[in-house]
Amino acid sequence: MKYAVLGAGAMGLRYGVLLQEAGQHVDFVDTWDQQVQTIQEQGGVYVARDGQNRHLVPIRISTPEDYHGTPDVLIIFTKQMGLAEMLTRSAHFFNADQYVVTAMNGMGHIEKINQYFKPEKVLGGTALIGTVLKQAGDVDFIGAAGAGSMNIANQTEQPDEVTHQIVADLQAANLNPTLTTNFLGTLLAKVIFNSVINTLCTMFQIQMGEFIQSPVAQKLGRQLIDEAFDVCERAGITLLNTREEEWATIDYVSRKTNPLHFPSMYQDISKHRPTEVDYINGYLYDLGVQYHYEAKTHDFLRNLVHLAEFAGTFDVASLKPLTEGEH
């Protein structure tokens, strides 16, 4: 099958490059002009693993307007805030036979994708895989080859022949997929994971391996997990893991799989970009409110992240002290 990756950022590049190395035909499409231009001029993307063995991997990349391929499967890895633009600009090469795989962070993307594709063609996933885009045309895969895993489910929860072929291709690419038949539970598992790791590591500018060594890591994590599970129980969503298993996953990934990883939210904050916190902690809080429950710790953290976003852009020079006689 032919694949097109929409969103050639850190995760899009990792999935696409690994699929290409496994023998698949892969094209990349991105709306970030600097990324497209840099990769085209270099003749590919520079790929390292944990900062080592940086080398050039030839890939095909274009803007949506310049792409005229006929992919069988679209892999979507944009930020939540950029998805609508990507879909609008890419719609000219969509067709009714294509399948879509997405493992984006947060929630809100499925509704947008459903405006273009039938639910039976949409697969949602969660990727427990760390990757850093150092700069345009330069990506660092975090963790050893084969590190990390993903869960994936059909929106209709009825896997078909094409679904099984996609899963086989992902397995051949060493992405370690597990096919489930619990769509919402699959998506929410990563939301809950990120609501702990992304937010806390971002607020304190630490790697996952640093966070998990803290004597208060488990207390903080379990408080957020408990609130998230309370929300999902009220919403009638059956999650893939128990509360204990969710913490165990966070512990394992932080200690063993991606201890050197700065989560994507931190990468956004450090580069003065908007974060996806409203689609992660904010989503859990807003979902709870619909069922008369307030996940107050998630809401508090959401607002702390927004304060950090504001602090990174505020013009301190605009502050003026009171002059004599002013009150």
AA letter at 200:
L
Over residues 234-249, the pLDDT tens digits come to 999 999 999 999 999 9
Q: Read off the pLDDT band of 322 (50, 70, 90).
A: low
SS3 content of the chain, % helix, strand, coil (to 5): 50, 15, 35
| Res 286 pLDDT > 90 | yes
| 2-181: CATH topology | Rossmann fold (3.40.50)
What is the arithmetic mean of pLDDT over 2-14?
Answer: 97
Q: Read off the pLDDT band of 127 (50, 70, 90).
A: very high
Is the model more confident about 264 or about 5? 5
Per mean pLDDT, which range of 96-105, 221-230, 310-319 is the poorest? 310-319
| Res 218 pLDDT > 80 | yes
pLDDT score for 148 = 87
pLDDT score for 317 = 79
Is the model more confident about 168 or about 313? 168
What is the arithmetic mean of pLDDT over 187-191?
Answer: 93
| Res 327 pLDDT > 60 | no
**Rounded CA gap, 128 and 150, in Å?**
6
- Asked if domains 2-181 and 187-311 share a fold, the reply is no
**Rounded CA gap, 79 and 76, in Å?**
9
Superfamily of 187-311 according to CATH: N-(1-d-carboxylethyl)-l-norvaline Dehydrogenase; domain 2 (1.10.1040.10)
- Give me the residue spans of the domains in the chain: 2-181, 187-311
DSSP notation for 147-159: --EEEEEETTS--
What is the arithmetic mean of pLDDT over 84-92?
Answer: 98
Q: Which residues contact 136 (CB under 8 A, 6 or more apart)?
A: 32, 34, 35, 37, 38, 39
Q: Read off the pLDDT band of 130 (50, 70, 90).
A: confident
Q: Which residues contact 147 (CB under 8 A, 6 or more apart)?
A: 129, 257, 258
What is the arithmetic mean of pLDDT over 55-64?
Answer: 98
pLDDT score for 324 = 58
- Mean residue pLDDT of the chain comes to 95
Edge to edge, what strands does the sheet with 52-57 contain?
52-57, 45-49, 138-141, 131-135
pLDDT score for 325 = 60
| Res 69 pLDDT > 90 | yes
Q: For residue 155, how far is the Cα from the chain centroid?
A: 18
What proportion of the chain, given as a percentage, has pLDDT over 90? 87
pLDDT score for 326 = 60
134: left (phi over 0), alpha (psi -120 to 50) or beta: alpha
What is the arithmetic mean of pLDDT over 214-220?
Answer: 97
Q: Read off the pLDDT band of 182 (50, 70, 90).
A: very high
Rg, Å, the chain Cα set: 20
pLDDT score for 243 = 97
pLDDT score for 315 = 79
Phi, psi of 89 (to 5 degrees): -75, -20
